[in-house]
Structure 1
Amino acid sequence: MPGIDECLLEAMRLPGARSAAVVDWVSGLALGVAGDPPGGDYEATACETAELARMVAEYRSLGPLSAAGPPTGTTPTAPDPTAQHAGTAPAVEDIITTNSDSYHLLRFVTGALDGTLFLHLWLGRDEGNLALARIRLAEMAGRMVL
């Protein structure tokens, strides 16, 4: 079972990989990094991607289709952002953000630190293969141990 460093090295071997990180989406702390981060700052990149991951993980509207919504005739409430996240791995598997020259792929790691970690892979659009990256990050997330 690979640890953080082994997973990051494996991620960096993917075609088009520019950087990879393991981030705690609750604190915004990068637990491990490899490559050159967007903007040149690992801490800022970790905080910014954690904000996106936190938003997706906390809102029910982005959860599974089988999740029961609020009762008919009631107004849905926003989640409490100060609530404890222990044992609350997000229902979302990954997040993909695209821009003109690259992809950002965030893959949630279940089971590690109560499901509050994700892998962030930054891929060059011309060299990268988004489908392959999704498959490989899913495999890495399933095997990673801390």
Structure 2
Amino acid sequence: MIGIDVCLGRIIEIPGARNVTLVDADSGLAVAAVGRHEPADQHEVAATTTDVVRAVLTCTGLASADPADDIDEVIICGTSGYHIMKFVGSDFGARLFVHILFDDVTGNLGMARFQLRSILAEFTPSGPRATI
């Protein structure tokens, strides 16, 4: 199992990653953050992305037909980049997600998702938890 700093350090190395924030979904605060371009107020980013995550999870129209199927990732695509919000399992009871901003010039959504899944599996072997 890898630590938070190593985890975020590896995520920011994914091609196209610009900012990475580990967010406590209960409080909406940034637990940790790293950035490569245009420093942002990570606590503001954490609060607004928490609102998005909560809205998605409470929207019955986005629920799967299978009641056992949980949402484990939210992807938002824009004209010049995309955001991935991936839920992170936690052995200490916190409800966490990682928010990554990618640019679309050097980023590749499919590869980013594949690499992110691999890194987070090393960070928390317990898997994602989307109960927010």
The answer on 1:110 being equivalent to 2:53 is: no
CA deviation vs aligned residue, 1:68-111 (integer Å, no higher than 9, x gap): 9xxxxxxxxxxxxxxxxxxxxx9111111111111101111124
Q: Which contiguous aligned blocks of 4+ residues in structure 1 show a shift greater than 4 angstroms?
A: 36-39
Count the aligned residue pairs: 124
Structure 1 residues without counterparts, runs of 5 or longer = 69-89
Q: TM-score with structure 2 length normalisation?
A: 0.82
The answer on 1:53 being equivalent to 2:32 is: no
**CA shift for structure 1 position 39:** 7.1
> What is the alpha-carbon root mean square deviation over aligned residues?
2.3
Q: Which amino acid aligns with 2:104?
A: R
| Cα separation, 2, equivalents of 1:139 and 1:6 | 13
Percent same amino acid among aligned pairs?
31
Partner of 2:70: 91
Partner of 2:110: 131
- Please show how residues 11-26 of structure 1 align to structure 2 within 5 Å: 11-26=11-26
User: Relative to 1, partners in 2 of residues 1:21 and 1:5: Cα closer, same or farther, differing over 3 Å?
Assistant: same
User: Relative to 1, partners in 2 of residues 1:54 and 1:115: Cα closer, same or farther, differing over 3 Å?
Assistant: farther
Q: Which amino acid aligns with 1:49?
A: T
Which structure: larger Rg? 1
Structure 2 residues without counterparts, runs of 5 or longer = 125-132
**CA shift for structure 1 position 20:** 0.5
| Cα separation, 1, equivalents of 2:43 and 2:81 | 20
